[in-house]
Chains A and B, each alone.
Chain A
Amino acid sequence: MTPTTLNQTGTTMAGTTRLSVRNIRKSFGTHEVLRGISLDARDGDVISLLGASGSGKSTFLRCINLLEIADHGEISVDGELIQMEQRGGKNVPANRRQVDRIRSELGMVFQSFNLWSHMTILENVIEGPVHVLRRPRAECIAEAEVLLEKVGIAEKRNAYPAHLSGGQQQRAAIARSLAMKPKVMLFDEPTSALDPELVGEVLRVMRSLAEEGMTMLVVTHEMSFARNVSNRVIFMKSGEIDSDGAPDQLFGSGGSPSFRQFIGNFGG
């Protein structure tokens, strides 16, 4: 691998490793969902994780911010290794406070948005900065308004999540994550729960984030996003990385037979 990478605007930049995952394994009962996954994301990388359902891509994403605890493996964010220890024969975080802090550095966007339903959109966006990062409220509100403007829902700031469309909720959820100024953004099938006509507005926001150089890991079924926005595509099959490469290469002629078959199902 080369130490430099090409970002979306076409300039070459030094590739600081933002996220490094080593040999993650995870089983649910006797079923091994992840069989040793490793991945490095450098600054500005936009990596699409593709795979059939059940291939382990969402579980892998959730292991990164410890919503699922991997049975084995190492995760570092911006060079800092998450401390784990063995307790009662299980792999558990050694330091809860470190986990909370690292999570605050990783943005997570969920398939089902998961906005806090008892708070307005603005309250959702400032919640993390004010209460987790303990920053001054006025400053957070000013920043939140800029973010809401950016994702195009400034006029909904005082509405509650239940009164917004799915696409608006997902854009609010993206703004909520961005308010934490994350080092890496994790997207877990961000458009899968949306009506088809609402997918575009969310993808546009994600695309502009990518263009600004945000480091992103995106579990998705949107082939056009994988192909046109990401600079790297990883195809997972049965808990392992089957193909890994630049989209042009994989979607061109470099993909494995299983990858060809997979994208064939999308009519691509």
Chain B
Amino acid sequence: MALFQLIGFGPTGWGGLLLLAALMTLCVTAVALLIGAILGSLVAWAKLSGSRILRTLGGTYTTVFRGVPELLIIYLVYFGGSSAVTAIGTAMGYEGFLGLPSFAAGALAVGIISGAYQAEVFRGAYLAIPKGELEAAQAIGMNRSLRFRRIIGPQVFRFAIPGIGNVWQLSLKDSALVSVTGLADLMRTSQVAAGSTRQHFLFFIVGGCLYLILTSFSDRLFTSAEKRANRSMPTSLGQA
């Protein structure tokens, strides 16, 4: 069957490239999630802080990056970043266009968006810690950093897992938009394969299936992480 050869691993097959592309999608998303976790925890901290200026800044971040289309952010980071790099290049005597690496630009753009959602997840997780447990930590003589390390951090992590699983899912799909920068991710590769073989239906179905495999597999990972983290919860909640 010609169709099976097309998606197979033979010399005319796209199987190898598609798997590589799926791996690329996974990598972009993982790096984006990491960038988002750093940005998100900083923004969550700003939003919870006593300073009015920090709270406003944090609020602005989440409002802007949750309220603007993802594609626009990607264009902004990739093309905006590239013009900035080109301008610096020109100033240093280099002629011509300098592009930002599409992987870095894509991961950064998706990471910035993911950070806005993660900030809300972390903020909610912090607020879910019973206040009395923080008081008990103070009362036993823990200083600020010890309280964070021993009581706040582990509990924020625990309460954040379901929300972060959700954000991961969103970021995985957002990463498809990075294909506009030419990065050979799953979206882009499906598109190229579809175009060059004229089997649009076949390759978009295969691409979709690969996305589904990635999302459902990671969903299971997050669910089991959640179960593990919730072993200290009352059984009725732990099973929910």
- Report the bound CA distance from A119 to B234 in whole Å: 13
- Per the 8 Å Cβ criterion, residues 137-151 of B in contact with A are 137-143, 146, 150-151
- Report the bound CA distance from A120 to B133 in whole Å: 14
Q: Is there a chain B Cβ closer than 8 Å to A150's Cβ?
A: no
List 26 A–B pairs whose Cβ atoms lie within 8 Å, in order of A's numbering: A67-B135, A67-B139, A100-B142, A101-B141, A103-B138, A103-B139, A103-B140, A104-B140, A104-B141, A105-B141, A108-B136, A110-B132, A110-B136, A114-B133, A114-B135, A116-B136, A117-B133, A117-B155, A118-B154, A131-B142, A131-B150, A132-B141, A161-B232, A163-B235, A173-B136, A176-B136
**Sorted from nearest, which 6 A-B pairs have the closest CB atoms?**
A104-B141, A114-B132, A160-B232, A114-B136, A108-B139, A103-B141
- Report the bound CA distance from A115 to B140 in whole Å: 12
Q: Is there a chain A Cβ closer than 8 Å to B2's Cβ?
A: no
Chain B residues with CB below 8 A from A162, complex form: 232-234
Pick the contact of A132 from B133, B140, B158, B231 — CB < 8 Å?
B140
Q: Is there a chain B Cβ closer than 8 Å to A65's Cβ?
A: yes
Contact indicator A97/B143 (Cβ below 8 Å): yes
- Measured as residues with beta carbon below 8 angstroms from the partner, the interface class of chain B is 20 to 34
Identify the closest chain B residue to A180 (Cβ): B140
- Per the 8 Å Cβ criterion, residues 148-166 of B in contact with A are 150-151, 154-155, 158
Known A-B contacts A118-B154, A163-B234; the reply to A112 vs B140 at CB < 8 A is: no
User: Could you mark each residue 141-178 of chain A with 1 if its beta carbon is under 8 Å from any beta carbon of chain B, else 0?
Assistant: 00000000000000000001111000000000100110
Given contacts A104-B141, A117-B133, 20 further A-B contacts (CB under 8 A): A65-B139, A67-B139, A100-B141, A101-B141, A102-B141, A103-B140, A105-B141, A114-B133, A115-B133, A115-B136, A117-B155, A118-B154, A127-B140, A128-B141, A131-B142, A131-B146, A132-B142, A162-B232, A163-B235, A180-B141
- Report the bound CA distance from A161 to B158 in whole Å: 16
Q: Is there a chain A Cβ closer than 8 Å to B96's Cβ?
A: no
- Measured as residues with beta carbon below 8 angstroms from the partner, the interface class of chain A is 20 to 34
Chain B residues with CB below 8 A from A115, complex form: 133, 136
Contact indicator B135/A160 (Cβ below 8 Å): no
User: Could you mark each residue 153-181 of chain B with 1 if its beta carbon is under 8 Å from any beta carbon of chain A, else 0?
Assistant: 01100100000000000000000000000
Q: Is there a chain A Cβ closer than 8 Å to B67's Cβ?
A: no
Identify the closest chain A residue to B143 (Cβ): A100
- Report the bound CA distance from A105 to B139 in whole Å: 9
Binding site for A on B (CB under 8 A): 130, 132-133, 135-143, 146, 150-151, 154-155, 158, 231-235
Chain B residues with CB below 8 A from A110, complex form: 132, 135-136, 139
Chain B residues with CB below 8 A from A127, complex form: 140, 150
Chain B residues with CB below 8 A from A113, complex form: 132
Q: Is there a chain B Cβ closer than 8 Å to A96's Cβ?
A: yes
Contact indicator A119/B140 (Cβ below 8 Å): no
Chain B residues with CB below 8 A from A132, complex form: 140-142, 146
Chain B residues with CB below 8 A from A65, complex form: 139
- Per the 8 Å Cβ criterion, residues 67-95 of A in contact with B are 67
- Report the bound CA distance from A116 to B132 in whole Å: 9
CB distance from A6 to the nearest CB of B (A): 30
- Report the bound CA distance from A112 to B133 in whole Å: 10
- Report the bound CA distance from A177 to B146 in whole Å: 17
CB distance from B24 to the nearest CB of A (A): 36
Contact indicator A117/B232 (Cβ below 8 Å): yes
- Report the bound CA distance from A69 to B233 in whole Å: 33
Pick the contact of A118 from B132, B141, B158 — CB < 8 Å?
B158
Contact indicator B142/A119 (Cβ below 8 Å): no
Chain A residues with CB below 8 A from B141, complex form: 100-105, 128, 132, 180
- Report the bound CA distance from A65 to B233 in whole Å: 30
Chain A residues with CB below 8 A from B132, complex form: 110, 112-114
Pick the contact of A160 from B138, B151, B154, B231 — CB < 8 Å?
B231
Tell me which of A96, A119, A120, A161 has the highest count of chain B C-beta atoms within 10 A of its own C-beta.
Answer: A119
Chain A residues with CB below 8 A from B231, complex form: 160
- Report the bound CA distance from A96 to B138 in whole Å: 11
Chain B residues with CB below 8 A from A120, complex form: 232
